[in-house]
Chains A and B, each alone.
Chain A
Amino acid sequence: MDETIDLEALRLGIRDVLRAECSPGAVLRHIENGGGVHEKLWKEAGSLGWTSLAVPEEFGGLGLGLDALAVLYEEAGRAVAPVPLLATLLGADIIVRTGSKEQQARWLTTIAGGATRAAVSPPLPFAPAEVALVQSDGHIVLSGTAAAILDGADADLILILAARSDGGIVRVAIEPHADGIPVRRTSTWDMTRSVASVEFSALKLPANRLLSADIASEDAVAIHAAIGIAADAIGGAQQILDITVEYLKSRQQFGRPIGSFQGLKHRVANHKVALVADAALVASAAALAAGNDRHATAEVSSAKAQACTNYVNLSRDAIQLHGGIGFTAEHACHLFLKRARLNEVLFGSGGWHLQRVLDLVIRDLAA
């Protein structure tokens, strides 16, 4: 990892672009027109190298760690950006960890350049492999359904989690367009993203689509995924808090700005404190994960649970604090609430992550 990278400079650079290209108003218009990937922004993300951040330098990337990716995810969250950055970079992560040199050369270069959009079925800690794999002379055969693939319907490359008959796990790269595999999109209330599933009935693919996988690589990708969502939650929470505070300052009722009422002030103060604390937790989790610290898993679960729960608390209260205007589709509030609610259940719910804290830390302390 390049130690000289200035994460704050990276952050401001990304923020400037998103502020110009992906304002809340722009996202609202994009959704009015049906949602999906914001193609112009995606193109820009590719040309600015955002998709190359964590790709090794030999494949045209910057070779940065999770702490740098967390900055990107946080800014994308702030902009509720309708681009599959997390999905694509999770795909790259799997290939970096488990792909052969040929596979890496084949896919990482185009991911880095933004030409290939990737997606992944959820890492093993979050869901077992539901696709069965049989290997026979130079081919592999897939059967079963891969579900809950974030932004999978917009991907050119999906890394499916599959299980061999002996119980061992693998990842299989499918190229839905090239392979002619139908991917079923399920639209979510959060229209800045979607989920997808793929059904396989004895689909035959060449053996060079097989990537080795094991519990360690799946755990690492799970950490990446959870940090990605937690950072998204921090960025989104900051943005909706700013929007709400501005509204409370300007909206006049009873002859005074409603932000002068203590009943509202104390609510936003509570949200602010929670956000400051959660941001510290997510930053720590990203730093520990980037350094492969042995305490990273508990910290990441702590961060994911806290950041996502409080993003929901804040974004739901934001609508209430806005009153009628917050209930309208034309106002940005609902973008954040919907994104927060999807974040809450993606890659482990709050309860799931607290259970992991319980298993990893509390049981240990109690013993």
Chain B
Amino acid sequence: MAGRHFDPLAHCNDLNAFRAEVAAWLNAVVPLNWMERVREGGEKAYFEFQRQWFGCLRAVGLHAAHWPREWGGNELSLRAQVALYEEFALANAPFTDMFTISLYHLPATLFAHGTPEQRDRYLTGVRDRAEVWCQGFSEPGAGSDLASLRTRAERQTRAGQDVYVINGQKIWSSYGMFADFCLLLARTDSNAPKKQAGISYFVLDMKTAGVTVRPIRQITGEAEFAEIFLDEVVIPAENLIGAENDGWRIAQSTLTAERGILIFEYSLRLRYAIARDAARGKDTWLRDPALAQEFAGFYPRARALSLLIRRMLAEIETDPRKGGSELAIYTKLYWGTLLQDYNGFLVRAGGLEAQFLTQPVRCGGLTTGDYMYDFLKSYSWTIAGGSSEVMRNVIAERFLGLPR
């Protein structure tokens, strides 16, 4: 790529300069037609594009800028992260979907519970070698009731080595088919008094013998998720994260890592989507007073969402463990519902045209402008990461104190 050398992080203490440098850099590196390229290329093109985009970020250190300095990050302040994502949204930059677990969940888990060796090995792998991580939490029989998971990890000694032997099945692992490693929950004590108490947390190398991955074709036509079959998979005992049987507690720090900045990024894109969709509809459905007013009704909800997110980010800034706070739960439920309502409205307003089959724009986010695709995809926020129903139970029981 011709042109000057960009170094946004050199300006991260001056927010305006940082913004300007990020914007200039984005302008130079984001291919104008990236959405079309990804749309036409299918899964392989997606995988390559994700790696290429991650490489762009890595070249200027923005991929892990939010990490602590000792792990090669820049400890980018939350305000600077906010500015960064605002510029991404403004430039309609691609998402780094495939690296979400690598960049957020893995470090959140290892910073809190990993050994120095684990941090060194795996964080370096993400930072320097773009290793892709997936999450092996859900099982066919353990979705909302995650703690009832049945994949077993049995501690044994084989050839003089301490190992765990793992058998079971995982499901809904995002990008599992592209992953180098997996954050795995498995049961190490079937006789624990509470089902949460017998679970341990592991690192699984996806190249280990006995690991089989099968992509799951979803209602949008694409396959983001995978099933992982584990058949007599032997992993070294040092792959245990934290103490044996302490996995449930550790998993909480993993699960809360994604709330916050990810929803923030999506909400910014929603703001631009509202403008785009209004412009698109201005000569058609926006002329219908009833539809126009219904559409206007999304604006207050989008504003309220931004305000909730800002508040949540401020909370996280003072205490990173607040990712699982009351406000984070409200925000997740509010966001999922709003996203689905919004995209559902556009399918209706968009008429027959919205029914024309399109190829998905992978890593294009949740408001790509293909209304039916976006609507179908919105279930990922009302089902995954704690379904809306589970969120409602949590709100009613934990926050409002209603009896179980």
Contact = CB atoms under 8 A, between A and B. Distances in A.
Interface of A: 245, 248-249, 256-257, 259-260, 262, 265-266, 268-270, 272-273, 276-278, 280-281, 283-284, 298-299, 302-303, 305-306, 351, 354-355, 357-358, 361-363, 365-367
A134 to B, nearest CB: 39
B321 interface: no
A259 B300 CA distance: 31
Contacts of B399: 272
A358 B395 contact: no
A361 B304 contact: no
Contacts of B307: 277, 280-281, 283-284
B334 A277 contact: yes
A245 B402 contact: yes
A235 B307 CA distance: 19
A280 B279 contact: no
B120 to A, nearest CB: 41
Given A302-B299, A365-B275, A266 B282 contact: no
18 contacts: A245-B400, A245-B401, A259-B402, A260-B402, A265-B402, A273-B330, A276-B330, A277-B305, A277-B308, A280-B311, A281-B300, A281-B303, A283-B307, A302-B300, A355-B293, A358-B292, A362-B274, A366-B275
Given A266-B396, A306-B300, A366 B402 contact: no
A269 B403 contact: no
Nearest to A265: B396
B397 interface: yes
Nearest to B283: A366
Contact of B395 (A259, A272, A367): A272
B393 interface: yes
A259 B393 CA distance: 11
Contacts of B297: 305, 354
Interface in B291-330: 292-293, 295-297, 299-301, 303-305, 307-308, 311, 327, 330
A256 B404 CA distance: 10
Contact of B392 (A256, A265, A302): A265
Given A281-B307, A303-B300, A306-B304, 14 more contacts: A268-B400, A269-B391, A269-B392, A269-B395, A272-B330, A276-B327, A277-B305, A302-B299, A302-B303, A302-B304, A362-B274, A362-B299, A365-B279, A366-B278
A303 to B, nearest CB: 7
Contacts of B282: 366-367
B341 interface: no
A355 B397 CA distance: 38
Contact of B304 (A270, A277, A355): A277
B303 to A, nearest CB: 5
Given A257-B403, A269-B400, A280-B307, A357 B300 contact: yes
Contact of B330 (A277, A303, A358, A367): A277
B55 interface: no
Interface string B119-138: 00000000000000000000
Interface string B171-211: 00000000000000000000000000000000000000000
A239 to B, nearest CB: 14
B396 A362 contact: no
A284 to B, nearest CB: 5
A252 to B, nearest CB: 10
A275 B75 CA distance: 35
A276 B320 CA distance: 21
Interface of B: 274-275, 278-279, 281-282, 286, 292-293, 295-297, 299-301, 303-305, 307-308, 311, 327, 330, 333-334, 389, 391-393, 395-397, 399-404
Contacts of A266: 389, 392-393, 396
A342 B274 CA distance: 31
A121 B279 CA distance: 38
A351 to B, nearest CB: 6
A305 B403 contact: no
A265 B393 contact: yes
Contacts of A281: 300, 303-304, 307
B344 to A, nearest CB: 17
B369 to A, nearest CB: 14
Nearest to A284: B307
Nearest to B396: A265
A248 B402 contact: yes
Contacts of A284: 303, 307
A305 B294 CA distance: 12
Contacts of B400: 245, 268-269, 272
A276 B282 CA distance: 32
A259 B403 contact: yes
A365 B300 contact: no
B303 A362 contact: no
Contacts of A278: 304
A268 B402 contact: yes
Contacts of B308: 276-277, 280
A365 B281 CA distance: 11
Given A266-B396, A351-B293, A362-B295, A249 B300 contact: no
B85 to A, nearest CB: 20
B301 A366 contact: no
A305 B303 CA distance: 13
Interface centre among B301, B334, B400, B404 (most CB of A within 10 A): B400
A303 B304 CA distance: 9
A366 B296 contact: no
Contact of A355 (B274, B281, B296): B296
Contacts of B396: 259, 265-266, 268-269
Nearest to A244: B400
